[in-house]
């Protein structure tokens, strides 16, 4: 069922791709559906900035032009999914480990469109783990800081990010003050990025249900 919902919201997102634009895209199963749909209008755009090697590989399979972000100053739109998105359009992202590049691309985009199925749209964050990308030497020191915050750190075994780093999944952290938490964790020495997208949150979210797609903005 959820694959059907992911595909339907991916198809709807095509309507938000500006003509003759270079867009940013995220990673994950919903974005894979989006890339397949994007291939049907690839002549309509100038190219795509991908957030992960997996997305880049799929773009290449469909012969969609890939653009280096360093050649640009901004993007018209960034389209990505989320592990969870709340009613304030804040997100937890990074289940696939691409959180740092996702956050970079989102930061230079004029609009952030988040596309999710109904299971990902929540009133407030529940106990979904918050990923943190860390440089290898800081794995234990960052984990100790997470414990001080009341969280339970779990090292993501046998996983290396596209940037050559490790990921710690943080469980049981209180997210009532999510913006403060994002900034605090980002300032821990050794942290590359945290999978809270609350400072740069989504501008618009499309949520797919079995019989409709809701469009939500603040």
Residues in binding site for substrate: 27-30, 80-83, 93-96, 120
Find out whether 197 and 91 touch, Cβ atoms under 8 Å. yes
Q: In 39-175, which residue ranges form alpha helices assigned H by DSSP? A: 53-61, 99-107, 139-148
**122 neighbors 207 (Cβ within 8 angstroms):** no
Question: For residues 81 and 120, is the Cβ–Cβ distance under 8 A?
Answer: yes
Token reading at 46? 């100038």
Strands 191-194 and 130-134: antiparallel
Structure tokens at 200: 């740069």
Give the three-class secondary structure for 14: helix
Contact 79, 25 (CB under 8 A): yes
* Binding-site entries: 27-30, 80-83, 93-96, 120
DSSP category for residue 148: H
Complete edge-to-edge strand list for the sheet that includes strand 152-155: 152-155, 166-171, 130-134, 191-194
> Does residue 145 have an active-site annotation?
no
Q: Considering 37, 56, 90, 102, which one is annotated as catalytic? A: 102
* Residues with catalytic roles: 102
């Amino acid at each position: 069922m959820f694959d059907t919902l992911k595909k339907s919201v991916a198809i709807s997102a095509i309507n938000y791709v500006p003509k003759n634009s270079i867009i940013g895209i995220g990673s994950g199963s919903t974005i894979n559906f989006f890339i397949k749909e994007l291939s049907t209008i690839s002549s309509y755009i100038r190219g795509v900035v991908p957030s992960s090697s997996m997305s880049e590989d799929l773009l290449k399979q469909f012969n969609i032009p890939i653009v280096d972000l360093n050649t640009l100053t901004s993007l018209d739109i960034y389209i990505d999914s989320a592990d969870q998105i709340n009613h304030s359009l804040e997100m937890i992202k990074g289940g696939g480990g691409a959180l740092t590049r996702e956050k970079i691309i989102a930061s230079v985009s004029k609009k952030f469109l988040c596309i999710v199925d109904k299971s990902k749209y929540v009133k407030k964050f529940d106990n979904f783990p918050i990923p943190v990308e860390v440089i290898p030497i800081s794995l234990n020191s960052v984990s100790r800081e997470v414990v001080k915050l009341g969280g339970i750190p779990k090292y993501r075994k046998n996983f290396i990010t596209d940037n050559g780093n490790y990921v710690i999944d943080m469980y049981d952290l209180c997210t009532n003050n999510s913006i403060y938490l994002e900034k605090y964790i980002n300032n821990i020495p050794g942290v590359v990025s945290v999978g809270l997208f609350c400072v740069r949150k989504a501008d618009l979210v499309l949520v797919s249900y079995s019989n409709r797609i809701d469009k939500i903005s603040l």
